[in-house]
Amino acid sequence: MTRTAIDHRTRRGVLQPIHRGVFAVDGADLDRHGRWMAAVLACGSCALLSHKSAAELWEIRTPQPGPVEVSLAGGGKRRARGLVVHRRIVLKPADHRARHGIPVTSPARTLADLANRISSDELEAAINTADKLDLIDPERLRHVLDDMRGEEGVSTLVRLLDRQVLRLTDSELERRFLRLVRKTGLPQPKTQAKINGFRVDFLWPQLGLIVETDGLRYHRTPAQQARDRQRDQAHVAAGLVVLRFTHSQVRFGASEVVKVLTSVGRRLSQRRAAA
C-alpha cells in the first residue's frame, strides 16, 4: 500500500498504528498474541519473540507485566518503540520455531535466555512445565545445551540440570550410599538383592526396609512409572517399607538422606524390638 493509502485508512480508523509499518485492522483490540505478532513484524523478517515474552507464548511462565521482548541476529539497527530488542551475533536454525503463527525462539533457547534473569526456583519450575507440556524434556535439553556452550545463560542452566538429571554409575552410587549408611548407625544393607520377584538396590531384611534410587528426578516414562508402582506395591503388600532417593540426592543432598534413613531405621528397629 502506498503512504497515501495508509494515511487515508488511518484517518478513517480502518488502520490503527501499532508500530512503525504495523497496523491493526478495523480498530481491532489486540490480545497478547496480536501484540506479540505486531512486535515481531515491527522488527523485521528475521526477528523472533524471545526471553520472557517467548516463555509466556510457550506457556512455561505465567504472564508478567513489561514490554514485549524480541531477538534479532546480526548488527541490524531496526528499532521499535516500546519493545526490548536483543541483538545477537547469530540465531541458529535450531533456535527458530513458530507457535500460533508467531516466530519465536525454541524452548531450549528460551530457557537459556531466562536462566540469568529469574531465580533458580522459577527456572526449575519453567523446566518442569516445559517437560509436562512435552516441549522438551530435561535429558534432551541437557543434550541440546552442549551445542550452545559459551552462550549467555547456558552455564547457569547446565549447573541446574546437572544436579537434577545426574545418574551415577552403579559402583559410584553404591560407594556413596554406603558411606551415608555408616553415618546412620544402621547395619550395612544387601545390594542388588532379589525380593518379591524384583531386584532392589538396597535391602535391610532385618528391618524390612528397601531403598531404591532413581537416576532421573524429572522424567520417567509412563511405563517406567507403572513398573515402579508395581514394585513398590508388591513390597508394601509384603509388609516392607520402601524409600526412594534420587542419584542427585545421594550426591548433593547427603545430610537429608542420612536424616531420613536414621529416622526410618530407628522407628523400624523399635517396631521389630516391640514385636
Burial profile 238-249: b = 16 or more Cβ within 10 angstroms, e = fewer: eebbbeebbbbb
Q: How many CB atoms lie within 10 A of CB 231?
A: 19
Question: Are 39 and 147 part of one and the same domain?
Answer: yes
3 state SS of 77: coil
Question: Are 155 and 35 part of one and the same domain?
Answer: yes
Question: Are 149 and 174 part of one and the same domain?
Answer: no
Arithmetic mean of pLDDT, 44-65: 93
Q: Give the per-residue pLDDT at 255.
A: 94
Question: Are 41 and 128 part of one and the same domain?
Answer: yes
Question: Are 112 and 204 part of one and the same domain?
Answer: no
**pLDDT for 266 beyond 70:** yes
Q: Say how far apart CA 63 and CA 189 lie, in whole Å.
A: 49
Which residue range is the domain that position 245 belongs to? 170-274
Give residue 39's pLDDT band: very low, low, confident or very high (50, 70, 90): very high
Q: Which three cell numbers stand for residue 106?
A: 525454541
**Could you tell me what percent of the chain has a pLDDT over 90?**
51
pTM: 0.66
Task: Tell me the pLDDT tens digit for each residue of 175-191.
Answer: 899 999 999 999 999 99
Question: Are 245 and 151 part of one and the same domain?
Answer: no
CATH number at residue 255: 3.40.960.10
Give residue 225's pLDDT band: very low, low, confident or very high (50, 70, 90): confident
Residue 8 within any structural domain of the chain? no
Which residue did the predictor score with more confidence, 203 or 162? 203
**Rg of the chain in Å (alpha carbons):** 27
Task: Tell me the pLDDT tens digit for each residue of 62-108.
Answer: 998 899 999 998 755 566 678 999 988 888 999 999 999 999 999 99
- C-alpha separations of 50 from 2, 72, 75, 133 in Å: 31, 9, 17, 18
Question: Are 95 and 158 part of one and the same domain?
Answer: yes
Count of structural domains, the chain = 2
Q: What is the mean pLDDT of the chain?
A: 88
